[in-house]
Amino acid sequence: MAYNFTAIEKKWQQYWLENKTFAALDPADAGGMSKAFILDMFPYPSGSGLHVGHPEGYTATDIISRHLRMKGVNVLHPMGWDAFGLPAEQYAIKTNTHPRQSTERNIENFRRQIQMLGLSYDWDREVDTTDPEYYRWTQWIFLQLFNSYFDPIDQKAKPIKHLLQELMNQNLVVAPDGSVVLNPTQEGMESIAGEMRIERLWRELPPDEQRDVLDAQRLAYMDEVPVNWCPGLGTVLSNEEVIDGKSEVGGFAVERRPMRQWMLRITAYADRLLADLDALQWPESLKEMQRNWIGKSVGAEVDFEIDGPDDHAVTVFTTRPDTLYGATYMVLAPEHPLVEQITTPPQREAVESYRKTVASRSDRERMADGKQKTGVFTGAHAINPVNDEKIPVYIADYVLMGYGTGAIMAVPAHDERDFEFAKANNLPIRPVVKPADGSTPPADRAFVGEGIAINSDLINDLPTQQAKEKIIAILDGESAAHRSVQYKLRDWLFSRQRYWGEPFPILLDTEGRAVAIDESELPLRLPEMADFKPTGTPEPPLSKALDWLTVKRDGRTYTRETNTMPQWAGSCWYYLRYIDPHNKDRLVDREKERYWMPVDLYVGGVEHAVLHLLYARFWHKVLFDLGHVSSNEPFARLVNQGLILGQTEYHIFQTADGSPVSASEVRDIGEENTGSGIQLIALHKTSGEKLIGHRLEEDEIEKSSDGYVLRGNPAIRVDARSFKMSKSRGNVVNPDHIVRDYGADCFRLYEMYMGPLEAQKPWNTRDIVGMARFLNSVWRNLVGDEESADAPSPAGAAVRISDGPTPDALDRQMHRTIKKVGEDITTLRFNTAIAELIKLNNEMGKLDDMPRELAENFTLLLAPFAPHIAEEIWQRLGHHKSLARRPWPTFNESKLAESTLQLPVQVNGKLRDKITVPADADQQTILAAASESEKVKPWLTGKTIRKQLYVPGKLVNFVVG
């Protein structure tokens, strides 16, 4: 009979909650215990509830946490809700409820679902990003950003007051473009006689300009920038939230338009965000994604004079200054400000019309064109500083205003894009680098590799690296070039035109300049609004909260900032709040922060690689610079759990007239959303005809030598694959149903047994029964065959426990299992740990009565994986308290090995027999026994034994010839 998991699981979940079994100790109470901060990426509580992907990571960290507690570690394992933001708000609008109501309801549901899994969270530390007591600190951190600037010399954030001081005491001055620079006269670089000082001293600036200069230096600043406006969502999005020109949430179209928005100066941290990745224990692929996103390129900026009476010059950025002699033309981004001034009258019309065309095209259209390079001649010529050659200046949309200087020198011989443009416009292609190995590069494309400089006068015969150095040095001497580093990373667009987010703690004066509200006024609460829907224009919904909007202060009138913060704000620092969730005075107590940080293990999905994880690292570094936290990086070790896919599906492809096409004749398989659902589509490999996929049942297919084929028609290969779970595909598995049918312990075991945590793997409900059988067998072996756990049996009464010794072989297996399970938990290999427990249980089932030591150790080993049944058995073994902090079993080194060895015997590397020898037999004995084996002998007779190998404990191999 199956054990009653429903009753047992409810009983222990209640026990854990009531007894606060998993409360983490504050450092003052922890004594000499070591600590572990085990963190899950907290979910946003969507309306559709938990999904089987969530519990995968949660169960993994739960096993780790339970194991560590049993090892005497003080474990901080919290859970909370990332409840602001678009998904929650979209759901609220769709269901026509106030986001607060739907958020509360969704949180209730998520909490219920998470608690039904028996996860060992310290629920007294639950955080909710939409709680004013939480977001007051999100706003507080924003004020820190607003009141700080980045000091480029020390490479760190400092209070803006410090900058003001440096300006007032004239260490710093204001450059003509409004930027702040070192005072040249303070640097010992007295200005040359007769040359006018172009920088201005702070006191020379009018008050309004002083404010503008200071505001432009803040880590949180307002700027008019081209943003990703998403009409479908009624808000702007950050670069990180736009995938292939569409919004990550909802997949709506995104257009570029200039808007005045809050920006966070993450670019100042680009170098540190990049450099500090190296020391982190994160998956290499994820670090690589962050590196790519930051996109550091080292090169040079080179000035090209424009030929003509005016004094124009264009600065280009290049990573290959060694190819300067190969520059045969120049390209400016169509939006480049100099285009206007250098275009010659005859070309004006063509240039204007091209600029218009470009402006009207979306990024998506530009991308769709792929390699088709377009552009027009401006009529102007630039002078190459290395050889005074005049080269034509073009504008083309393959050069982006947002990267580098918005202008390039084009070297078609050594750059693919320049090559294509040159081909299309009949421009000269001049090779200036030859391959170092003497080979001839193909003529039909650019040679982009490094090599040896040729046709390059001053740098001829130099290898690429040296050529770069030398040419920069020469041009630097003439003030025509300097070393330069560029990043792909852009500043973080931080405004959203939505209701459900943190309000900015900012007032705007009549000129639109920002004034921070005082810390004592935090939290600035979201106004209650009946109509919180987007306005459909860039005007945020908060602009409709008229009695909230206007503030009078010191006789002046201010307007509140009506944008709200993006979803990522609350999740940038939530891990810190768990440490000290109820602190009214600080975001986190200093001593507690020092004790718990950094996070020892952080588990979550890879989808946050360049969003949450980059943003959170940035905020953490700012807080670190300003002295609010003690660690430079928040997450020491990070693991991505693999996606759980839906059950494997089989499809047959058909042409429009219904005839089947073998999957081997098909290319470009993709998905298409027809109104009625998602359909698999593909193209015919040879004809290019569009094919439609049709779902097949398992009894319609059969396995052939290579892959699945249509039953009865083996010529037709069938496509077999697993898809991401999604509502529109209808392959979502609801954890509620699995827990109802099999119990939480079984569900947890199945999720961990599917495969390695980090691998992507298909769900298969049919496989769950294996774990159910295992748990039932454990129950039978340790408790007995009674009907159920309903009747409160006296502790110990039903258990078939003996005080006799464990049989030797089983005792040894137990010690090996203790070792293996402990190691596997530490290395996150839960699947093999469970396999080991199953093996031990299978052996235990053969016993007539159960030795107590074995029973207890097994129960403790099982506990992190299946905690409810383990607690119940533990109690029935006669214990009165939870096993949550019982010592983890230890193994005895001397018990790990068997007393006899079974050794394979090979002849010329092929297995011929296995012999059994005492574990302590010496080499001579073993080789003798091996050569005596009846199965081995025939392979040796008549041959000379050239070599006898014995790998201790592993195998014997005779090499004969």
Partner RNA sequence: GCCGAGGUGGCGAAAUUGGCAGACGCGCCGGUCUUAGGAGCCGGUGGAGAAAUCCGUAGGGGUUCAAGUCCCCUCCUCGGCACCA
Q: Are 418 and 442 in contact (CB under 8 A)?
A: no
CB-count burial class (<10 Å; 0-12, 13-18, 19+) for 309: exposed
DSSP 205-242: S-HHHHHHHHHTTBSEEEEEEEEEEETTTTEEE-GGGE
Q: Is the CB of 76 or the CB of 249 nearer to RNA?
A: 249
- Neighbouring CB atoms inside 10 A of 959's CB total 15
Least Å distance, CB 427 to RNA, is 15
Binds RNA (CB under 7 A): choice among 109, 147, 425, 764: 764
Q: For the chain, what is the radius of gyration of the CA atoms? A: 35
Question: How far out from the chain centre does Cα 682 lie?
Answer: 31
In the chain, the N- to C-terminal Cα span, in Å, equals 61
Report the site for RNA in 311-370 (rule: CB under 7 A). 317-320, 333, 366-367, 369
Q: Is the CB of 576 or the CB of 840 nearer to RNA?
A: 840
Least Å distance, CB 415 to RNA, is 6
What x/- string results for residues 709 through 748 when contact with RNA is judged by CB under 7 A? ------------x---------------------------
- State yes or no: residue 304 binds RNA (CB under 7 A): no
Report the site for RNA in 604-663 (rule: CB under 7 A). 606, 609-610, 648
Binds RNA (CB under 7 A): choice among 769, 797, 809, 919: 769
Report the site for RNA in 476-495 (rule: CB under 7 A). 486, 488
Binds RNA (CB under 7 A): choice among 373, 381, 621, 868: 373
- State yes or no: residue 417 binds RNA (CB under 7 A): yes
Which alpha helices (H) appear in 478-607, and where do they start and end? 546-549, 568-571, 574-579, 590-596
Phi, psi at 945, each rounded to 5°: -85, 110
3-state secondary structure of 537: coil
For 613, how many CA atoms within 13 A lie in the half-sphere containing its CB? 31
Least Å distance, CB 300 to RNA, is 9
- State yes or no: residue 564 binds RNA (CB under 7 A): no
Q: Is the CB of 134 or the CB of 763 nearer to RNA?
A: 763
Least Å distance, CB 722 to RNA, is 8
Q: Are 472 and 323 in contact (CB under 8 A)?
A: no
Q: Which residues, including other chains, have CB under 8 Å from residue 943's CB and lie 6 or more apart?
A: 960, 961
Least Å distance, CB 555 to RNA, is 48
Least Å distance, CB 291 to RNA, is 8
Q: How far apart are CA 898 and CA 916, in angstroms?
A: 11
Binds RNA (CB under 7 A): choice among 299, 385, 822, 864: 299
Binds RNA (CB under 7 A): choice among 175, 198, 275, 400: 400
3-state secondary structure of 640: strand
Least Å distance, CB 953 to RNA, is 8
Q: Is the CB of 275 or the CB of 367 nearer to RNA?
A: 367
Report the site for RNA in 567-606 (rule: CB under 7 A). 606
Own/partner long-range contacts of 477-484 (Cβ < 8 Å, ≥24 apart)? 478/385, 479/303, 480/302, 480/303, 480/385, 481/300, 481/301, 481/302, 481/303, 481/321, 481/385, 482/300, 482/301, 483/298, 483/299, 483/300, 484/298, 484/299, 484/300, 484/301, 484/317
Beta bridge partners of 35: 74
What x/- string results for residues 275 through 294 when contact with RNA is judged by CB under 7 A? ---------xx--xx--xx-
CB-count burial class (<10 Å; 0-12, 13-18, 19+) for 47: middle
- State yes or no: residue 553 binds RNA (CB under 7 A): no
| Residue 819 tokens, joined | 């070792």
Beta bridge partners of 259: 225
Report the site for RNA in 29-48 (rule: CB under 7 A). none
3-state secondary structure of 46: coil
Least Å distance, CB 286 to RNA, is 8
Least Å distance, CB 702 to RNA, is 9
Least Å distance, CB 690 to RNA, is 18
What is the dihedral angle through the alpha carbons of 644, 649, 655, 661, rounded to the nearest 10 degrees? 110
Q: Give the full edge-to-edge strand order of the sheet including 910-918.
A: 910-918, 900-907, 955-960, 945-951
- Neighbouring CB atoms inside 10 A of 370's CB total 7
Q: Give the interface segment with RNA, choosing from 33-41, 253-261, 405-413, 570-578 (CB under 7 A).
A: 405-413
Binds RNA (CB under 7 A): choice among 835, 917, 921, 929: 835
Report the site for RNA in 661-700 (rule: CB under 7 A). 669
Binds RNA (CB under 7 A): choice among 85, 234, 743, 762: 762
Binds RNA (CB under 7 A): choice among 25, 73, 205, 955: 955
What x/- string results for residues 882 through 921 when contact with RNA is judged by CB under 7 A? --------------------x-x-x-xxxxx-x-------
- State yes or no: residue 959 binds RNA (CB under 7 A): yes
Least Å distance, CB 891 to RNA, is 13
For the chain, helix, strand, coil in percent to 5 are 35, 25, 40
- Residue 312, amino acid: H
Report the site for RNA in 49-108 (rule: CB under 7 A). none
Least Å distance, CB 831 to RNA, is 5
Q: Is the CB of 97 or the CB of 760 nearer to RNA?
A: 760
Binds RNA (CB under 7 A): choice among 354, 398, 624, 865: 398
Q: Are 95 and 889 in contact (CB under 8 A)?
A: no
- State yes or no: residue 767 binds RNA (CB under 7 A): yes
**426-449 CB burial, b ≥16 within 10 A, e <16:** ebebbbbbbeeeeeebeeeebbee
Binds RNA (CB under 7 A): choice among 235, 831, 875, 882: 831
Q: Is the CB of 263 or the CB of 407 nearer to RNA?
A: 407
Q: Which residues, including other chains, have CB under 8 Å from residue 234's CB and lie 6 or more apart?
A: 497, 498, 534, 535, 536
Q: How far apart are CA 122 and CA 26, in angstroms?
A: 12
What x/- string results for residues 224 through 263 when contact with RNA is judged by CB under 7 A? -------------------xx-------------------
Binds RNA (CB under 7 A): choice among 334, 404, 693, 867: 404
Phi, psi at 609, each rounded to 5°: -55, -50
User: For the chain, give me the number of helices (H) and strands (E)?
Assistant: 28, 46
Report strand pairing: 313-318 vs 242-243.
Answer: unpaired
* Count of chain residues binding RNA (CB under 7 A): 89
Q: Are 802 and 26 in contact (CB under 8 A)?
A: no
Q: Is the CB of 189 or the CB of 911 nearer to RNA?
A: 911
Least Å distance, CB 338 to RNA, is 14
What x/- string results for residues 693 through 712 when contact with RNA is judged by CB under 7 A? ----------x---------
- State yes or no: residue 371 binds RNA (CB under 7 A): yes
3-state secondary structure of 945: strand
What x/- string results for residues 916 through 945 when contact with RNA is judged by CB under 7 A? -------------------x----------
Least Å distance, CB 839 to RNA, is 5
Report the site for RNA in 164-193 (rule: CB under 7 A). none
- Neighbouring CB atoms inside 10 A of 463's CB total 15
Binds RNA (CB under 7 A): choice among 392, 756, 784, 878: 756
Least Å distance, CB 321 to RNA, is 8
Q: Is the CB of 562 or the CB of 731 nearer to RNA?
A: 731
Q: Give the interface segment with RNA, choosing from 11-19, 760-768, 807-815, 915-923 (CB under 7 A).
A: 760-768
Q: How far apart are CA 11 and CA 871, in angstroms?
A: 10
Least Å distance, CB 179 to RNA, is 21
